[in-house]
Amino acid sequence: MKNSILLLFFSLILMNCESTSKEEKINDFAIIIHGGAGTILKKNMIDDMEAAYKAKLEEAIKVGHTILKNGGSSQEAVLKTIQVMEDSPLFNAGKGAVFTNAGTNELDASFMDGKTLNAGAVAGVKDVKSPIELAIKIMTDSEHVMLSGEGASTFAKEKGLEIVDPSYFYTENRFQSLQKIINQEKTDLDHNDKKANFYDPIIKDSKFGTVGCVALDKFGNIAAGTSTGGMTNKRWGRIGDAPIIGSGTYANNKTCGVSSTGWGEYFIRSQVAYDISAQMEYQKKSLKEATTDVIQNKLTKLGGTGGVVALDKNGNMSFEFNTEGMYRASMDDKGELIVKIYKE
C-alpha cells in the first residue's frame, strides 16, 4: 500500500514537471509581422525591389521591438509597427492602398487586445491616414467594435486623428493595376460574351499586400492588428477579412494572437484567426500544429489562399501560408531578426 502511494506521488510530480516544461516561456517578449501573401516569386522580383521590401519590413519590426524591449505595451508596439507599413507605398495598406472599381481607395483595419478581449475595427474609410490607429481608438473610446464609411470618418475627426485628402492614397502603380484588371474584364466580356470572372488568376492575386502585426509584451499581454486597402477593383463596398475580428485578427492571452492575409472571403467563412486560437484552447494543440491545420488543411481544402503570422503566450512564433510567398519578419527577446519573402 505504501509503495502504491509513493508511486502515485512521484507520478504526479513527473506529470507536473512535464506540464511545466510544455508551458515554458520561450521569449519574454516577441513580435512578428507580415506584409501580404500571394504569388511572390524570386524570378519576378528585381533586386532593388526585394531590397526595398526587406528594408521596410526590418524598419517596421524594429520599431515595435524597441517599444517592447523598453517595457512598452503590445498595443503600442502593434500600432507603431503597422503605421510604418501604412506609410509605405510598398504595401496594400494606408498610403499604398489599392483602388476600387470606382477609382477610390477604401481602407479597413482591426485590432484586438488579448488581455481584455476588447477589439476595434473600421471598414471603408477614405480619408483617415492611419486606419489601425482608428481601429484602436474605436476600441478605447467608443462602446462599439466596428464603424464604417462616413460615420467612421466622422468619429476619427471628433477624436483628433489625422485626416488627409483622398488623393494622399494615390500611387501610380496601384492605379495601373486597376486599369490592367478592368482591361482584363473587358477582354473576357468581348471574347466570351458573358460576365467576366471576378476571381480569375490575375484578379485573385490583386488583393494581397495586407499588413499585420502580433506582439507579446513583458507583461504577458498579446495584441494583434491588421490593416489593408482590400482588393483591387472591388465593388459595392466589398469588405474582406481584415476588419473582421476572428477572421483577419484575433488575440487571447490564454492562447495566441493572429493576423491574416489572403483571399478574405475564405478567411471569413473559415474564421481563420479564431480557429487557430480555439484549436489551441480546446484541442490543446501547439501554435504550429494549429496554424498548419487551419492554413494547409482546412483553408486549402476550401479553396482559400493566403497565410497568417501568429504568436502564442509563451513567445513561440509561426509563419504559415499556402502561397508562393509572404512578406514577413520576426524578432525575439534576444534581438534575433528574421526577414523573408519567398517560400523556403
Of 81, 100, 210, 249, the catalytic one is 210
Q: Which of 36, 80, 89 is nearest to 59 (CA)?
A: 80
- Strand, coil or helix: 18: helix
Q: How many CB atoms lie within 10 A of CB 182?
A: 16
Whole-angstrom Cα distance, residue 279 to residue 283?
5
Whether 116 sits among the annotated catalytic residues: the reply is no
- Order of strands, sheet of 317-321, starting from the edge strand that comes earlier in the sequence: 249-251, 256-262, 306-312, 317-321
Helices (H), the chain: 2-22, 47-69, 74-86, 131-141, 149-158, 172-192, 201-204, 264-270, 272-282, 287-292, 300-302
Q: Residue 328: which H helix or E strand, with range?
A: strand 325-331
Catalytic residues: 210
